[in-house]
Structure 1
Amino acid sequence: MDRDKVLTHMKPAPSIKQRTRLPQLRKFTVLLILPLVVLLISLQKCTQGANIANKLISKDNQTSKYVTAKGSKVDKFLNDVFPVGFKWGVGSSAFQIEGGYQENGKGQSIWDKFTQDSPDNASVSCDSYHKYKEDVLLVKSTGAKVYRFSISWPRVLPKGTTEIVSKEGLAYYNDLINALIAAGIEPMVCLFHWDLPQSLQDGGGWLNQETVGLFGDYARLVYQTFGDRVRYWITMNEPFTFCYYGYDEGIFAPGDKSDPATHPYSCVHSLIMGHALAYRIYKEEFFTQQNGKVGISLDNFWQEPADPNSEQDKLAAQQSYSFRFDWIAYPLFRGEYPPIMRKIIDAKSKLEGRKESRLPEFDAEWISKVNGSLDFLGINHFTTQLVKFANNSTTQNASNWESDTGTVRSYDPNWPDTGSHWLKVVPEGIRKSLKKIKQDYQNPEVIITENGVSVASLGMIMNDLDDLQRIEYHRLYINQVLKAVKIDGCNVTGYVVWSLLDGFEWSQRYDTQFGIFHVDHQSPNRTRTPKKSVKVLQQIFRDNGFPSVSKLHKISVISVSAQENKYSGTTVLLCSAPFALMFSAYYAYGQLSA
């Protein structure tokens, strides 16, 4: 190539001014184009949020457009009130919020041991042991007239037996109960919310039926000490959850997976006996003087047929329901386990070459104690599952509860997600559950002892307080309870919001939050702050339901699905932040152009 052609193809070197401008242009591109991209994405998210809100609330704010189970009708929001005397409450449990680990002689519980090596254990948690007076004021501020809490068995009986009684432990609960009554709040006391004394676990725990008698001794002590002021007693919280996750999956204390074929059944059997014994002790020794009520809290997932038009799926849903809720409820009303459980497990046990069924039996004495052993039935309802029969022979032939059910459970992908993978928002499920309880058990008194929703924590208080999904959850679920009472005639006498505080959430630790009050677990003071849901619940409690169309019914939720936009509050940031970014970009452009 000759010299002239080379010179023709050569570009002149950039001037000093041009060399200075190039990095500025690159910077300008980042400052302007990036915010534009964020703006477009954010506007798309805002549009999605608005669409989700439209799915939830119709234009007239009367029809809830939440995603229902297949084949179900979406019914109108009911403007009505609960019967006079309906009990509104909030709840908690000892291990989840108290802290005070080993203070004043408290004994170790199985959950203390199970989590002792974890950095996010509950040795302090919400520190309610020291802040109970503040927590009583929080309960009062909601307008609730009932506070459901549990007594820590190892706090009052460090070794689990009455040989050593902690005066300090009894004094703590005595002060708490007195503070509640002084604030006009009725205590609803649970005796066992999973924190078994470790010393009893060392002796076999609930697999050893001696624990049943020791639980009776513990119940008698508590009745003697507090029964003059407590009218509502819950013996056990969710026997299924405790035994299945503690002795099958092993993700709950005591974390024993050694024999999933028999241990969950033996565990539940002992808890039912413990409940019945505590009930009989109260009736025979304390009822005449104290005139209280004794019940039990059972977990209650509504089981919906995967295909509402399939007779097989309907049978599968009933079978799954029998293996979970009826497993504990049926003996309390009938004195024996559900017939379908007895049939399936007895047959499988025989095929496995066992001399006895893996499902225990009550003898004549215990049948008389267990049958009819409750004054009210507490249900803890959170969500719904879709059910069909399993078709995997390997799974069906295994020796464990999951296999014994003969079913598989799933969730509709259209159901809104929450902060817990197992909890989807399906409000109609609670009404269906209440109607079934009425039908199956002659309409007993029912108290909703837990109902609430988890929201994953972002660790940012402005997001954690903006719990719009929780507002909508409670609004819709409570309205379904109202329909069960006013339309279906269900004998529901109370509703307890779960939960008061953001506490220790078992296998999820502190990664998700059920509380209506935020707790700053990074602060030594464990600062409490009310979330937006508190104000809405105050209104519902005050109105005793939904007497008329009000601003309460016009609340729309932008963030209801983790698939669309997982965290409430994030949408607000996404919708507003781009404009700030755009302003910054244009300012930068002006500076570069100067």
Structure 2
Amino acid sequence: MVSLFHIVFCASLCVVYGIDLTFPPGFKFGAATSSYQIEGGWNASDKSENIWDVFTHTMSDKIVDNSNGDIACDSYNQWQRDIEMASELGLHFYRFSLSWSRILPSGFPDRISEDGVKYYNNLINGLLAKGIEPVITIFHWDLPQSLQDLGGWTNPMIADWFADYSKVVFSLFGDRVKTWITINEATSICDVSYGLGILAPGVRSLEYGNYICAKNILVAHAKAFRVYDREFRAKFNGKVGITNHFLWMEPETEADEELAELARELAVGLYSHAIFSKEGGWPPVLEEKLAEYSKRQGYTRSRLPAFTKEEIELVRGSADFLGFNHYTSRTVRELNDRKSALWPLSGSPSLGIRLSVRPEWKQAAVKWFFVYPEGIRRQLLWLKKRYGDIPILITENGYCTEKLEIVDKDRIDYYYNYLEQILLSIKEDGVNVVGYTAWTLMDNFEWVSGYKVKFGLYQVDFTSPSRTRTPRASAKYYARIIKNHSLDVNKYEYDEL
């Protein structure tokens, strides 16, 4: 039964904002996972090692609980249960990623794994049988180790290797998969993996490796997009986009707005401007600042590698939509002590940027995560003002705790507050948000946090051989939102699915 408080609260919200709480017709809801975080089967059949296999096996001290994804949620064997969960929630789509080394054991298309292809065919066909659209991310951080040995994302040849891999998966699954995401979170791959060295492969090359990585990822994405355009679009009529992690940058005071805008270009423009702007290439202010800084340091050329004219044209316009991952925000002010707080950007100290948070922002279970719902709306509006009316698919948003709890009120509140801001973004700001994806379908291997933190709508028992999945209260809440196509549902009704 809906409580009187709930009715009064929702009515007052509608009065304050002047909107109802229903989502637009055609708006889609989904949930997401990634291959290394859930699949397990790290050495099943002919799959080769990827960088996370090697990283967790050889540098387990980098993971807070010394764990790995060898088994994880065992989705390689439990894929039917994963489909059941997606169906229980009533998802319109399920976003998952492909393991490059499971499909192409050498990293190259000389040999395609029959077992690897069978696994993904089973998953795709099973989802479609339930009326759930498969949304595939081609690359979500788990690069084949064979390619890392050749330089990984700092080798410009990777653009062609990725295009070849993409062509294989388009040909294998494109008849049934109509929404493709090429690469997940260039910010994390480049800044955190090749800049700060925190994530696999753990290359610490501050303000050098990260910029080489950024250019190569943009070119790789564009080459994959052009392959789809040339060879598959007319036949399959799908859409191809790219996803990044959008960290909203809030000026600490009004006087810090110019610096906050520079931080936005570093966090967002670096990976978006080349694709979505009319002129293409790097954000001009960032290109200028980094060239000046490099010169002062004695470099003969900018640390930010230049695009050729051909590369600018290749990358410009190479997306049908923008994938938008968002969890948290930062405040920005001038850096005086040459130390950047609360890392997310390896280039921030050189540009005089200090990142922090406001004291009233609630912290989640990891040190980088602070709750500021207004940040997602402000970031969406910034993108609209910067790049126009581009379709935006929110591909990740969710909340983590350390507790093993079924009644997860904090997660429910997070989803409510962020979805409320997304509705305002659509209805008040006119941003073209076409869908929303909860991170994550189930608890999983959460990278360097191991199994210590939980993002899942479903709780996973990692001590159980079958990795038993149990719906949390947030799963039931999310299912009600999807069923009613509205945020106007009882948040704390713990009925069975």
| TM-score clears 0.5 | yes
Deviates more, 1:441-450 or 1:336-345: 336-345
**1:162 maps onto 2:109 in alignment:** yes
Q: Could you tell me which of 83, 91, 111 is aligned with 2:52? A: 111
Deviation, 1:391, is 2.0
How far, CA to CA, are the matches of 2:493 and 2:258 in structure 1? 38
Deviation, 1:416, is 1.5
Identity %: 39
How far, CA to CA, are the matches of 1:146 and 1:524 in structure 2? 28
Do the aligned partners of 1:78 and 1:479 also contact (CA within 8 Å) in 2?
A: no
How far, CA to CA, are the matches of 2:174 and 2:156 in structure 1? 26
Q: Could you tell me which of 138, 155, 169 is aligned with 1:222? A: 169
Alignment-derived partner of residue 482 in structure 1: 423
Deviates more, 1:240-249 or 1:96-105: 240-249
* Secondary structure at the counterpart of residue 182 of structure 2: strand
Q: Could you tell me which of 319, 322, 334 is aligned with 2:262? A: 319
Q: Could you tell me which of 397, 407, 412 is aligned with 1:451? A: 397
**1:336 maps onto 2:277 in alignment:** no
In the TM superposition, what whole-angstrom CA distance separates every residue of 1:513-571 from its partner, at most 9, and x where no partner exists?
Answer: 1110000111111110000001111111111123x5x533x789xxxxxxxxxxxxxxx
Alignment-derived partner of residue 353 in structure 2: 407
Do the aligned partners of 2:48 and 2:144 also contact (CA within 8 Å) in 1?
A: yes
**1:539 maps onto 2:497 in alignment:** no
Alignment-derived partner of residue 219 in structure 2: 273
Do the aligned partners of 1:153 and 1:195 also contact (CA within 8 Å) in 2?
A: yes
Do the aligned partners of 1:64 and 1:77 also contact (CA within 8 Å) in 2?
A: no
Deviation, 1:79, is 3.0
Q: Could you tell me which of 429, 433, 442 is aligned with 1:501? A: 442
How far, CA to CA, are the matches of 1:411 and 1:247 in structure 2? 25
Do the aligned partners of 1:82 and 1:545 also contact (CA within 8 Å) in 2?
A: yes
- Return the letter of the residue paired with 1:551: N
Deviation, 1:164, is 2.1
How far, CA to CA, are the matches of 1:169 and 1:414 in structure 2? 47
After superposition, where does 1:341-420 map in structure 2 within 5 Å? 341-392=286-337, 401-420=347-366
How far, CA to CA, are the matches of 2:405 and 2:157 in structure 1? 45
**1:139 maps onto 2:80 in alignment:** no
How far, CA to CA, are the matches of 2:57 and 2:373 in structure 1? 37
Do the aligned partners of 1:452 and 1:473 also contact (CA within 8 Å) in 2?
A: yes
How far, CA to CA, are the matches of 1:136 and 1:395 in structure 2? 43
Alignment-derived partner of residue 252 in structure 2: 306
How far, CA to CA, are the matches of 2:97 and 2:232 in structure 1? 20
How far, CA to CA, are the matches of 1:341 and 1:79 in structure 2? 40
Deviates more, 1:418-427 or 1:131-140: 418-427
Alignment-derived partner of residue 36 in structure 2: 95
Deviation, 1:148, is 0.3
Deviates more, 1:491-500 or 1:417-426: 417-426
Do the aligned partners of 2:135 and 2:177 also contact (CA within 8 Å) in 1?
A: yes
* Secondary structure at the counterpart of residue 162 of structure 1: coil
Alignment-derived partner of residue 28 in structure 1: none
Do the aligned partners of 1:111 and 1:253 also contact (CA within 8 Å) in 2?
A: yes
Alignment-derived partner of residue 61 in structure 1: 9
* Secondary structure at the counterpart of residue 321 of structure 1: helix
How far, CA to CA, are the matches of 1:535 and 1:371 in structure 2? 41
Deviates more, 1:74-83 or 1:487-496: 74-83
Deviation, 1:78, is 4.8
Q: Residue 466 and residue 440 in structure 1: after superposition, are their counterparts in 2 closer, same or farther (change >3 A)?
A: same
TM-score, reference length from structure 1: 0.78
Deviation, 1:411, is 1.2
How far, CA to CA, are the matches of 1:93 and 1:352 in structure 2? 40
In the TM superposition, what whole-angstrom CA distance separates every residue of 1:92-138 from its partner, at most 9, and x where no partner exists?
Answer: 00000000011011010001100014341000000000000110010
After superposition, where does 1:132-211 map in structure 2 within 5 Å? 132-211=79-158
Q: Residue 268 and residue 296 in structure 1: after superposition, are their counterparts in 2 closer, same or farther (change >3 A)?
A: same
In terms of fraction of residues, the more helix-rich structure is 1
How far, CA to CA, are the matches of 1:320 and 1:64 in structure 2? 36
- Return the letter of the residue paired with 1:384: S
- Return the letter of the residue paired with 2:348: E
**1:437 maps onto 2:378 in alignment:** no
Do the aligned partners of 2:340 and 2:355 also contact (CA within 8 Å) in 1?
A: no
* Secondary structure at the counterpart of residue 496 of structure 1: strand
- Return the letter of the residue paired with 2:430: G
Deviation, 1:235, is 0.3
Alignment-derived partner of residue 63 in structure 2: none
How far, CA to CA, are the matches of 1:239 and 1:498 in structure 2? 18
Q: Residue 228 and residue 394 in structure 1: after superposition, are their counterparts in 2 closer, same or farther (change >3 A)?
A: closer
How far, CA to CA, are the matches of 2:94 and 2:339 in structure 1? 46
- Return the letter of the residue paired with 2:443: D
How far, CA to CA, are the matches of 1:78 and 1:105 in structure 2? 54
Q: Is there any run of 5+ residues in structure 2 with no aligned partner, and where?
A: 61-65
How far, CA to CA, are the matches of 1:525 and 1:321 in structure 2? 44
Q: Is there any run of 5+ residues in structure 1 with no aligned partner, and where?
A: 1-56, 66-73, 458-462, 557-594
Do the aligned partners of 1:516 and 1:534 also contact (CA within 8 Å) in 2?
A: yes
* Secondary structure at the counterpart of residue 103 of structure 1: coil
RMSD: 2.2
Q: Could you tell me which of 170, 183, 208 is aligned with 1:262? A: 208
In the TM superposition, what whole-angstrom CA distance separates every residue of 1:360-387 from its partner, at most 9, and x where no partner exists?
Answer: 1111111111001100001101111111
